Structure 1
Amino acid sequence: MNKKLLVLRHAKAEVGLGLADHERPLAERGLRDSAAMGAHLKREGLLPDLVLCSTALRTRQTLDGLALDAPVEFTRGIYTGDGYDLLTLVQITPEEVGTLLIVGHNPAVHELAVITGNAPVAEFPTCALAVVELESWESHGGTLLAHRTPKTLR
């Protein structure tokens, strides 16, 4: 049975608040975009069996905005890692998981979308989503099924 990997960049965050990067909250636009992306995921039947989310505030708030009902594991390595670090997380996903959502940061999520999707993805703005089909979690590459941004959802 094929697997679906959902790669999501956090929604638009506030800048210039004097906070540590890890503690930056979502901007109003980010709150709207994450809710719209959650509605899109539900409409398309892209409901994760497991979510791996960065520990940063903006990724946690993005996940809250999606309003999905799925088990969540918060992983600091998603905040600090690159695309290949994220690929390792994908490859150790339990076999019983059919759809995995990773909520993280650029450039790592963009790199993961390109690595796993075997297709160029020109840009990966805030709240961008890549949907990749893999033969198994151990696969080194699959097929990019969709690439969505908040603009393409309007």
Structure 2
Amino acid sequence: MSADTPRRIVLLRHAKADWPDVSDHERPLADRGRADAPAVGLKLAETGITFDLALCSTAARTRETWKLAVQELPHRPKTVYEERLYEASLGELIALVNETPDDVHDLLVIGHNPGMHALADALAGRAEGDTLARMARSGFPTAAVAVIGFSGSWKSVEHGVGTLLDFWTPKH
């Protein structure tokens, strides 16, 4: 693939989690999260993006979000449960993206805040329409989706490389 290969990275923050008496890593989705996760799947399907790879945090709430969302997709991508996504810093997230094989055109990352918001902010050097303003206004709430396009290899992903193409949050 050439250096100008168009690619997309889609960042998904897990749906709303519950706060039972368990470790943070084992927190399940709340009722609202279980309702929002399939809606996220429908939104992902509406984008028309056929994901080649999904990287999902090993936390219970991200795995549950993905399990409910993926059922709405017309094509189930290869999924890798990546423990490094849990509590990852911005630098660690960029390093993970840089490890993506070059045969992947479209990557989905299911993770946590503040990392998902920080990564979307860092990668989006440009934005279509009011997407950046909408993301800034709402933050990056649970079940939010950011779609970022860029050209080049995954190894070249760094601050400002992409265009924020879409930003979506469930309506409450």
> What TM-score do the two structures reach when normalised by structure 2?
0.83
Specify the SS of the correspondent of 1:118: strand
> Does the aligned pair in 2 maintain the 1:3–1:99 contact within 8 Å?
yes
Which residue of 2, 8, 13 maps to 1:4?
Answer: 8
Does the 8 A contact of 2:125 with 2:163 survive in 1?
Answer: yes
Residue 42 of structure 2: SS of its match in structure 1?
helix
1:113 alignment partner in structure 2: 120
1:142 to 153, 162, 168: 162
Q: Does 1:85 align with 2:88?
A: no
Q: Is the contact made by 2:94 and 2:157 (CA closer than 8 Å) also made in structure 1?
A: no
**Which residue, 75, 83, 87 being the options, matches 1:76?**
83
Partners of 1:18 and 1:50 in 2: CA distance: 33
Distance apart, 1:111 and its partner CA: 0.5
Shift of 1:46: 2.2
1:128 counterpart letter in structure 2: A
Q: Does 1:22 align with 2:25?
A: yes
Give distance in 1, aligned partners of 2:22 and 2:157.
39
Structure 1 unaligned regions, length at least 5: none
The residue aligned with 2:64 is 61
Q: Which moved more, 1:132-141 or 1:90-99?
A: 132-141
Cα distance in 1 between the residues matched to 2:125 and 2:12: 17
1:51 counterpart (42, 49, 54) = 54
> CA separation in 2, counterparts of 1:65 and 1:83?
26
Partner of 1:13: 17
Aligned residues: 151
Post-superposition Cα deviations, 1:9-31, rounded to whole Å, max 9, x if no partner, equal 0000001x111000000011111
RMSD: 1.3
Conserved 8 A contact 2:97-2:157 = no
CA deviations over 1:98-134 (Å, ceiling 9, x no partner) = 1000000000111010111125531000000100001
1:44 is displaced (CA, Å) by 1.8
TM-score normalized by the length of structure 1: 0.93
Q: Secondary structure at the match of 2:86?
A: helix
Runs of 4+ more than 4 Å apart? none
Structure 2: runs of 5+ lacking an equivalent? 127-131
